[in-house]
Each structure stands twice: as structure tokens, then as C-alpha cells.
Amino acid sequence: MTDNQEKSEIVNTDNTIDAEKFKEAANEHFKNQSYDKAIELYTKAIELNSSMASYYGNRSFAYLKTECFGYALNDASKAIELDRNYVKGYYRRAAAYMSLSKFKLALKDFETVMKARPSDADAKAKYTECNKIVKKLAFEKAISLDNDKKNIADTINLDAMAIEDDYTGPKLDDGQKVTLEFMKELLKWYKEENKPLHRKYAYKILLDIKTWFMAQPTLVDVPIPDDSKFTVCGDIHGQFYDLLNIFELNGLPSETNPYLFNGDFVDRGSFSVECIFTLFGFKLLFPNHFFMSRGNHESAIMNHMYGFDGEVKAKYTAQMAELFTEVYNWLPLAHCLNKKVLVMHGGLFSRDDITLDNIRETDRNRQPPDEGIMCELLWSDPQPQLGRAPSKRGVGVQFGPDITENFLKLNGLDYIIRSHEVKNDGYEIGHDGKCITVFSAPNYCDTMGNRGAFITITGNDMKPKFTSYDAVPHPDIRPMQYARSLMKFMM
């Protein structure tokens, strides 16, 4: 052996030892739910020793925890490439595929796991459940081809729903209209009694809100008078008690205290039903002073996987879950404040020529597609680097400060506000102040330790002001309580 070979072997041995140290440190951060730090350390381990499938598999799991499904998919595939017998790699890739609604590919990976571990009851259960989802979606696709299929809203008969004598919760007035008194009683009922609103009133709210949203444009223009305050909130994700805290800190919605909630009202948090009826109720009460944008979680597949569908079925009926899907299809995709600030859930586009008129012309009455304007409004994320990059989520695009600047100039805007990402302080100012993220679910999923935030803007200068806050206590019902058991395990 030559001297150079000996030195190379020593260096390689040292790299292997150091890589293991980084991996072990990353594992500890993962256990403590410090996923970003874990990702950083797994990356260092990979840089020193890129031949270990487990390093990629572990980083894939951390990416799943931070909802970077595209990155998680790439790492899981790399782990499998390095070691075809690395079963965890197939588990991780299946979870990533499921998060991206690629259920047939997920099923194929679960099948591989089951073949590798034929006596593993857990592997068989996951394969069986995934197979049920694939068959269910195939059936739904088949019946959707029936042009005579009625809207769920058309099948609801409110007159046939009696109010039981023992129901003591909030009641709509004789005209069946939402009032401020009803909303105050509803908030108190949810907070103190933790019981559902009567199904008749719940259905009435859904039918009325669908009618209202159907009349809204895809891009809503919102005027803000010079001396008026306007509040923008980000993701709520079923954290009802934190939603109440926003109203405690910033006041209830009213004609003089308008709000915009920027998508992802439901899923993950286990009080999503309470959140959505609260928001829909205020929308009906103050239709011109309370606004709601669609998020990527206002979709049938996401609701099916991450808990809202299961929660509605537990508290009401499968029919109501389907009605929610119809309502969500009509949610506006974006709002333009004083013709100066564009607000959307996700972000900007894979093309440079997109105008506000293009957004206005977008057909939104559907489930979110995998590409195009609607997809990117719901899924895209900013990045600090110039240009564009494939999305870390596997859907949408990542866009840099130059992309933001060009979009603003093309459309005569000052800046954009978006949500969609957990931030430590509940907000982040990026792209030289031109791209602002706001996230309003503190201690997201009871694990992330982040603060929540909301933005207030005054019409005369349109400068954003930020209020951050911590999570408040909630009843002992854990997040993802109603999610598919597959996703509770994977995530």
C-alpha cells in the first residue's frame, strides 16, 4: 500500500466516524422535535459519507415532519438506490407519495415492504389501508363521470331536521340569519361546552356560505379606507383556542375591525369544525368586512388524509363532509388590498408573465390541479436565492427575490403576503421586504414551539405591523386525532 493510499484510508475512516457522530446528534435533535437542526446535521453526515442509506432515510423522515414532501421523496429514493433492502426507505417514500396524493405509487412501496416482511402485521395493515384509498378514489372518479350527479347542497332538506328539546346550544333567529349575538353564543358554546352546533344550523351556514362564495370572484379586490385597520391572519389549522386568542388580542371581527384569513383553516388540529364554523359565521355576518382565501388544505384529498374529513364524520355526517368539499371549491384564491398588496396562501408562479387578470380568469371551482396558476397560488414558497427551483414540497415552485420584484412591477403592486409555512415568530419578512409570510397557528401540532402572528395594516400607508403570540391551553385532544391512521404513524 502506498503512503497516499494509507492517508486516504485514514481520512475515509475519520470521515466515517465523524459522519456517525453527526447522525447521532441529529437523532437527538429529531427526538426533541428540532427537525430543522436534525436536517442540518443529517446533511453534514451525508457530506462526509454519502453511501449510507440510513442517513438519507433519517433525513427523509425529518423532511416529512417539516412538510418538505418533495425533498423527503428524493431522500427516500436515494436511500433505496443505495440499499434495495432498506425497508425504512420504502416506508418513507410511501409517506411522501401519500402526502403528494400519489397513492398508487405509495401502494407499490407498501407492497414491497409487505413482501420483505410477510409476517409484519403493521406492514400488512398499511398496505391494506392504502389499497382501500386507491380503490375509493377509483370509484369516486368513476361516478364523477356521471353528468347527472347532483350537488350535495341540492339534496339537503333543512325542514326535515328537527331541533331536539334537550338542545341548549346557540340557535339562529327566526329568519335563520347569523347575528352577532349568535356568534358570541357560538364561541362561548364551543369554548365552555366543547359540543357541536346543531346539525340544522350547521347545514344552514354551509348552504348560505356556498351561495355567497359562488358569487365571489376568484381574485377579490378589498378597499381599505385611509383611517381603517385591516388584519391578515395565516394558517389556523384547527387550533380553535388559538383562534379565540387572536380575537381576544385584536378584537372580534366587525365592520370597523375587518379580517382576512389566508387559508388552511382546517386539518391537523382537532378543533377544525369549530374553527371553520366560526369563520364561516363571521363571513355571513360581515360579508364585506370578513374575507377568506383558499389554502392547499381546503381540498378533498388533504382533508381525507390530515383529519378534517374524519372530524366532520365524527361530529356530523359523511354527507356534510362532501358538502364542505363543494363549499371549498368556491373559496377565492387571492385578495388584492387597496390595489397595492396581493394576498394568497402559497406564492408566485413558474412563469414571468402572470397578471392579476390571469388570476381573475382562473377557474377555481374544482379540486386543486398539479400545476398552473391555481396550484402555485396554493402551494408555492419563496426562497432566498435568485430565480426559481423545484418545490421542496413536490408541488408548486420556489421563487426568488427577483421573481417577486418582477411580478410586483408587472402588476403595479408594493408587496405580497402569503402563509403556508411555519415561522418561529409567526412571521418572516423576505425578498427585501417585498414577500411577507404570516402563520397564525402557534406551537403547530403541539410540537413545533413556534409563535403565531397576525398582520395589521392601515389604509393610509399600507405598512405591515406584526403581533406575535404564544399558544394557549386547549382540551386534552391531540392534533391529528381524526387523521387517517396511516398518516398519524408516518408523520
Residue for grid cell 391537523? 268
Q: Rounded to a whole number, what is the distance in angstroms from the first to the last CA of the chain?
A: 49
Single out the residue of 211, 195, 246 nearest to residue 439, CA to CA: 246
Q: Within 10 A of 203 (CB to CB), how many other CB atoms are there?
A: 21
Residue for grid cell 333567529? 173
Mark whether 304 is an active-site residue.
no
Q: What are the cell numbers at 215?
A: 358569487
Give the integer Cα–Cα distance in Å for 109 and 123: 11
Give the integer Cα–Cα distance in Å for 343 and 233: 10
Q: Note the maximum CA span of the chain.
A: 94
220 Cβ contact list (under 8 Å, min separation 6): 291, 332, 334, 335, 336
Number of helices and strands (H, E) in the chain?
Answer: 18, 14
Give the integer Cα–Cα distance in Å for 92 and 33: 18
Residue of 297, 420, 431, 474 marked catalytic:
297
Q: Are 252 and 283 in contact (CB under 8 A)?
A: no
Strands laid side by side in the 381-382 sheet: 381-382, 397-399, 388-390
Q: Are 289 and 194 in contact (CB under 8 A)?
A: no
Give the integer Cα–Cα distance in Å for 415 and 430: 10
Reduce the DSSP state of residue 399 to 3 states and report it.
strand
Q: Are 267 and 297 in contact (CB under 8 A)?
A: yes
Q: Which residues of 271-305 are buried (b: 16+ CB within 10 A; e: fewer)?
A: bbbbbbbbbbbbbbbbeebbbbbbbbbbbbbbbbb
Q: What are the cell numbers at 444?
A: 403547530
Reduce the DSSP state of residue 343 to 3 states and report it.
strand
User: Reduced to 3 DSSP states, what percent helix, strand and coil does the chain have, rounded to the nearest 5?
Assistant: 50, 10, 40
From start to end of 184-228, where are the E strands?
219-222
Stretch (H or E) spanning 201: helix 199-214
Dihedral sign of CA atoms 215, 216, 217, 218 in order: negative
Q: Within 10 A of 68 (CB to CB), how many other CB atoms are there?
A: 24
Q: What are the cell numbers at 331?
A: 373559496
Q: Which residues are catalytic?
A: 297
